[in-house]
Amino acid sequence: MGSAPLLNIGILLFCGVLVFHLVTLPVEFDASARALKLLSETGLLKGSEVGGAKAVLDAAALTYVAALVMTVLQLIRLLALRGMRRD
């Protein structure tokens, strides 16, 4: 098996990873919002602590955005490599 089929398999796998990230992203943002609400409602956070907790939960959710961006960039790179091989 040459490298072209392996490259195509890699592209298909990255497409699967991309779909996974797209599905996970709204779930993570919703989980962060629900966690913040729950922390506030149960009294675990005082009014002055809510802003810090929101910042931490937002940062955690943004790691999923970063993973999505990196997956898209890697997919573009693999597609470019495949295009260069055909020239």
Domains of the chain, by residue range, sit at 3-86
Tell me what pLDDT residue 2 has.
Answer: 67
- Angle formed at CA 59 by CA 58 and CA 61, multiple of 5 degrees: 65
Residues 17-46: tens digit of each pLDDT: 999 999 999 999 999 999 999 999 999 998
Q: What is the pTM of this model?
A: 0.80
| Three-state secondary-structure class, residue 78 | helix
Residues 1-25: tens digit of each pLDDT: 567 888 899 899 999 999 999 999 9
Is residue 18 within 8 A of residue 57, CB to CB? The reply is: no
What is the chain's alpha carbon radius of gyration, rounded to the nearest angstrom?
Answer: 19
